[in-house]
Structure 1
Amino acid sequence: MLLDERISDHPAPQSGAKGPATHDSIAIIGAGPTGVYTLMELVKSDTPLFIAVFEKSNMAGVGMPYSPDYATYDMLANIGSIEIPPLTETYLEWLQRQPDSFLRPYGVDTDTLSERGFYPRLLLGMFFRDQFERILMQGRERGHRIVVRERHEVIDVSVSVIGVDVTFERYDGHRDTVSYDRLIVASGHDWSAPDLPDGVVLPNPWSGLIDTDSVGPKIGIIGTSLSGIDAVVAVAGRIGRFVRSDDGLSFELNGAEDDTRITMLSRNGLLPETDFYCPLPYEPLDVFTDAAIASACALGSAGLFDRLFHLFMQQLNVADPTFAASDMMNGVTADTFPLAVFAERLKSDPFVWARRDLQQTQRDSVSKHTVAWRYTILRMHEPFSDLYALMTDADRDRFDRGLRRVFVDNYAAVPPLSMERLLALSDAGILDVRALGEDPYEVRTLEDNNQLVVMNAQGRQVFDTLVDARGQRAMSLHDLPFATLREQVATVSNANRSQDPLRGALTEGFGLRLFQGKPRVFLAAISFLMSSKPFVQGLPGSHEIASVVARSVLEVA
């Protein structure tokens, strides 16, 4: 049953109307994790609020990556309970409340639940749904009026000095417009790929493979990271099953004659690292400190990246002097550091290297041993994200081409079971990995047989099915789905001669400067913030953004 049908005692404003005069009215677009965290922060307010939550799917509170429409039983969430910001309780506490009969079909044993465990995405979606409903009850108990509009898609937003008009289409096709005092945009993933030629449509790694009637037999997956692994697991689930024995994990095909072959494609042909043991929450850094960063920033944007890299190397030297003094670190610069870090992996067979890395991280997990240099890099990626916008355009480009890849490889390490699955598929002769190289590549359709070809200077590779698993890209003003709001931001940007319209319009609290006075629209959609905050992804990022946005909204309400 839709949540809207269970809260008829909390009616929404009528068309063109606002909530009662005693309530500030706030609309939230999107009820995924960011929307849930935002709602949690808003209902802490002592001032009564009227809150309307719009969710275009039929299940508010879940989020696309964790929905049955986009995930299977085998797909793992790449985060443990210890790293998931709690809602009304922690994820582990919620799991511990569930009966064994409920968890067993998901391959989860109640006796081995751990705050560092990785569990199916579907379970995490159920956790968020349950927490969303609990937050709704808590909010109403505190005097807030909250309505949830599932299967209501917001199609336009218009801002004025007195409020925000939200136009939406209901599940029955009826359209309406309602005015609110403030609006929070917390929409989720967008899998569109604008760099593909007309006529080429690639399935995404989730619903694109789950819903497709047939794939392969020759399957290409662009991306070797988290989304790429999801795509591999989705294909594997169609053709066979993973089997655990005393010899480890293996893969068995449903039919001996199945000729499915999967090729993962990436620029460098590397597989990701396996998640490594480290102390959580993060231990403080003793060189790359707030004071040291402030001193580096005080000298201006010119040269900031190199000054930060100097601090970066000093921190590595203190934390892991053996690594910092190794031959591969001799004379490295901000531009050559990535080449040094990846050198051994680039020379190795990706599966040989991945097996060795998996075995080492499993031993470290048992002994609770932390690889100091990896942990140090992990702790420095968030400060670099905050400083990205302060760098010059040239230095941001240098960062994107180099050090950013090291940070992404480090914090996007995958669960051990995910790596075991890749190795099992490789051992079965089903999976391989190829490098595309740094040259530009094109994707074309072969008209005679509808196969897809990936072409670049190194040659061409032909596939029956090609999956775009490059992950969420940074969105720009052009991607904003609300035409009137898009025009309003563009008008302000043109007046201010801003090269990046969204970045130029955003306040520190993620409000959009559209008129004189306090902002009325706040942008909490991570995909639109990635251009200025390159690492603001995942559930911790959702919580961070939600906290800032909710605080900003309540300050101006």
Structure 2
Amino acid sequence: MTHIAIIGGGPTAIYTLKGLTRARKAVSITLFEREPWAGPGMPYRDGTNDPAMLANIASREVPRVTRTLAKYLHACDDGFLRRLGLTRDVIDEDSFYPRVVLGSFFTAELAEVVARLRGLGHTVTIRTKARVTDIVPARDGVRIEWQSTQRPEKARFHHVVIATGHDWADYDEEGEDESALLSPWPAERLKALSGEVGILGSSLTAIDVAVTVASAHGAFEGEDGDTTTYAVRGSDDPFRLTMMSRKGLLPEADWYYPLPLPDLAHFTPAAVEDLVATDRSGLLDRAFALLVEDLRDLDPDYAASVDLSSPEALSKSHFAPRMSSDLWEYARANLVEAEEGRRTRRAVPWRVALLTAHEVFEDLIPHFDEADLERFHNSLKPIFTDGYASVPHPSIRRLLALHDAGRLELVRIGSALDVSETGGKTVIGSEGEMLRFDAVVDARGQRPMRLTDLGFRSLSRSVRPGWEKGGYSLTIEGLEKGTVQCLAMPVLLRRRPFIQGLVNAAEMGETAAEAILAELPAPPMPRPGLTSMKPGLRLAR
């Protein structure tokens, strides 16, 4: 029997299991999860996240496992929905839910997929509280070593999928006292923060930190209506929040877009293949020229309002109006526009074009040389991230309510930071200014990691360099039978900057399963089609 190991028990692992249901020959699957229970993954785990934290992915965008998120919620009884903080009338395809709701969904779907696999004759073992300590490749397979609650253990497998998901270091716990930055998780610790609280970042993770801290000191009111307000519980409570970001901008409110997204006329996957096949030099500029043609065709007004002479010029001109505006008034106007767009189901052409383009770029980025890769990260990536990382409307309303109550500000800090501790305060220095806080939470998002950072020493020594420019399969010295695939999102981020999110978790899981199925003696069953969804990475950062 073929033995398969999946390291990690969150959404990526679940979508991999879903793909393995197409195996025609019985296999043995072992899933390793270091937490007490498998299913939700860190971004959606109850306890790690506060119920006030919203996922920035609408129900219709969550890839189905055995059913859609909406169908799962409709199947829940009213009592369970109340425990999730929901009522039945809010369940629809356009709703945004607390992160813990998605955690409940994936936990239930893991049970459904496992039951389906077992019903098909496969063996599935879920090992919780099992921390994998090493992956040791050999000529005829791979040895997994792990620490269980009782003792160190090991076993040999034919195929290994690394699906460890987010890895968010806590600087204090690592002993880096000079940093003095707190992790945004677990949420329970945030509730103890008071006084002057700094938050590095302004995306959804930073918003979640602000909302969680604020909820510990007061309450949001009127969230069921058109106006959200915030009131602190004690009039003498001095707590204040300061969000700090590179550009000093808030994310935009989630806007309407059609599904499936329409193809572009010029910047297409086929065009990208031709670019790569003909000449790999100057790929970024040649790809950008195709995107410019689409922007001019689809939205002449937008094209005329920005500088399309280069990726760098577009980036500067794209953000210029927001950076010259009052950020809070811009946020109010943007929210009104986004709400109207959703009400009328009217899409803005340039937004749709850029959203589609970022997905096409995903296939091109691995072929960039280092110069083009650096240019892309500094120019087009911020534009694309700004589009796909738009946030739920309630999140924007909460920020506005906190600002109107005098409890929240956002400042621009640039990219060069100096972090220190002085007199019991955490000091953030940037561009000649010094900001002092009682505590600072680093909510800037998942940072890229190297394969060596995962801690699997034997694997790291065996992998040939350059694997990340291809697919997910690691090229391993001496491994003649079997596969090891790396779906660990932090390791993929540098070459695949849009890899975060449930859409990509589903696609990675299906791809990993297909690679394994191709190695099995019997051909797999046909792959079921994925439901259409917004591409990109709408996970918390």
TM-score, normalised to structure 2, is 0.92
- Whether the 8 Å contact between 1:205 and 1:234 is mirrored in structure 2 is no
Equivalent position of 2:245 in the other structure: 266
Give the 3 Å change call, closer, same or farther, for CA 549–77 of structure 1 in structure 2. same
Q: Deviations over 1:134-183 (max 9, x none)?
A: 111100000000100011111111110111111111123x1111111111
Shift of 1:58: 0.8
Shift of 1:229: 1.0
Shift of 1:247: 5.8
Residue 473 in 1 paired to residue 447 in 2? yes
- Counterparts of 1:384-533 in structure 2, within 5 Å, are 384-438=361-415, 440-446=416-422, 448-449=423-424, 451-489=425-463, 492-493=464-465, 503=468, 507-515=470-478, 517=480, 519-533=482-496
- Whether the 8 Å contact between 2:180 and 2:420 is mirrored in structure 1 is no
| Secondary structure in structure 1 of the residue aligned to 2:236 | coil
Shift of 1:299: 3.1
- Whether the 8 Å contact between 1:385 and 1:535 is mirrored in structure 2 is yes
- Counterparts of 1:298-447 in structure 2, within 5 Å, are 298-324=277-303, 326=304, 328-438=305-415, 440-446=416-422
Shift of 1:196: 10
Structure 2 Cα separation of the partners of residues 156 and 485 of structure 1: 7
Aligned residue among 512, 521, 524 for 1:549: 512
Structure 2 Cα separation of the partners of residues 418 and 102 of structure 1: 24
TM-score, normalised to structure 1, is 0.89
Match of 1:556, as an amino acid? E
- Whether the 8 Å contact between 2:354 and 2:384 is mirrored in structure 1 is yes
The percent of aligned pairs where both chains have the same amino acid is 35
Q: Deviations over 1:288-347 (max 9, x none)?
A: 1233222322332211100111111111112112221x2x32453211101111111001
Equivalent position of 1:25 in the other structure: 3
| Secondary structure in structure 2 of the residue aligned to 1:241 | strand
- Whether the 8 Å contact between 2:134 and 2:456 is mirrored in structure 1 is yes
- Whether the 8 Å contact between 1:329 and 1:340 is mirrored in structure 2 is yes
Give the 3 Å change call, closer, same or farther, for CA 549–305 of structure 1 in structure 2. same
Moved over 6 A (4+): 193-196
- Whether the 8 Å contact between 2:23 and 2:517 is mirrored in structure 1 is yes
- Counterparts of 1:110-149 in structure 2, within 5 Å, are 110-149=88-127
Structure 2 Cα separation of the partners of residues 301 and 196 of structure 1: 44
Match of 1:472, as an amino acid? Q
Structure 1 residue ranges without an equivalent (≥5): 1-22, 494-499
Shift of 1:477: 2.6
Equivalent position of 2:221 in the other structure: 243
- Whether the 8 Å contact between 1:82 and 1:280 is mirrored in structure 2 is no
Give the 3 Å change call, closer, same or farther, for CA 201–46 of structure 1 in structure 2. farther
Q: Deviations over 1:249-306 (max 9, x none)?
A: 0011121111111011111100001110010121222221233222322332211100
Match of 1:488, as an amino acid? S
Return 478-487 or 250-259, whichever deviates more: 478-487
CA RMSD in angstroms comes to: 1.9
Q: Deviations over 1:382-438 (max 9, x none)?
A: 111211111121111111111110000000000001111111101111011000124
Structure 2 Cα separation of the partners of residues 526 and 92 of structure 1: 26
Shift of 1:105: 4.7
- Whether the 8 Å contact between 2:280 and 2:368 is mirrored in structure 1 is yes
Structure 2 residue ranges without an equivalent (≥5): 521-541
Structure 2 Cα separation of the partners of residues 193 and 82 of structure 1: 33
Equivalent position of 1:156 in the other structure: 134
Match of 1:353, as an amino acid? Y
Structure 1 Cα separation of the partners of residues 312 and 275 of structure 2: 19
| Secondary structure in structure 1 of the residue aligned to 2:278 | coil
| Secondary structure in structure 1 of the residue aligned to 2:259 | coil
Residue 54 in 1 paired to residue 10 in 2? no
Shift of 1:210: 1.6
Residue 180 in 1 paired to residue 180 in 2? no
Residue 77 in 1 paired to residue 42 in 2? no
Structure 2 Cα separation of the partners of residues 512 and 104 of structure 1: 49
Structure 1 Cα separation of the partners of residues 431 and 251 of structure 2: 25
| Secondary structure in structure 2 of the residue aligned to 1:308 | helix
Match of 2:453, as an amino acid? D
Structure 1 Cα separation of the partners of residues 8 and 284 of structure 2: 35
Equivalent position of 1:19 in the other structure: none
Shift of 1:193: 7.2
Match of 2:298, as an amino acid? A
Structure 2 Cα separation of the partners of residues 374 and 385 of structure 1: 17
Give the 3 Å change call, closer, same or farther, for CA 300–39 of structure 1 in structure 2. same
Shift of 1:43: 2.3
Structure 2 Cα separation of the partners of residues 458 and 130 of structure 1: 51
Shift of 1:532: 1.4
- Counterparts of 1:149-298 in structure 2, within 5 Å, are 149-172=127-150, 174-192=151-169, 198-207=177-186, 209-211=187-189, 214-244=192-222, 248-298=227-277
Give the 3 Å change call, closer, same or farther, for CA 55–331 of structure 1 in structure 2. closer
Q: Deviations over 1:16-38 (max 9, x none)?
A: xxxxxxx2000111000001111
Residue 34 in 1 paired to residue 15 in 2? no
Structure 2 Cα separation of the partners of residues 216 and 536 of structure 1: 35
Return 106-115 or 91-100, whichever deviates more: 106-115
- Whether the 8 Å contact between 1:196 and 1:443 is mirrored in structure 2 is no
- Whether the 8 Å contact between 1:206 and 1:230 is mirrored in structure 2 is no
- Whether the 8 Å contact between 1:197 and 1:444 is mirrored in structure 2 is no
Return 86-95 or 512-521, whichever deviates more: 512-521
Structure 2 Cα separation of the partners of residues 511 and 553 of structure 1: 13
| Secondary structure in structure 1 of the residue aligned to 2:222 | strand
- Whether the 8 Å contact between 2:137 and 2:476 is mirrored in structure 1 is no
Give the 3 Å change call, closer, same or farther, for CA 518–383 of structure 1 in structure 2. farther
Match of 1:394, as an amino acid? A
Structure 2 Cα separation of the partners of residues 161 and 281 of structure 1: 44
Equivalent position of 1:14 in the other structure: none
| Secondary structure in structure 1 of the residue aligned to 2:228 | strand
Equivalent position of 2:531 in the other structure: none
- Whether the 8 Å contact between 1:509 and 1:552 is mirrored in structure 2 is no
Match of 1:68, as an amino acid? D
Give the 3 Å change call, closer, same or farther, for CA 509–457 of structure 1 in structure 2. closer
Structure 1 Cα separation of the partners of residues 362 and 175 of structure 2: 28
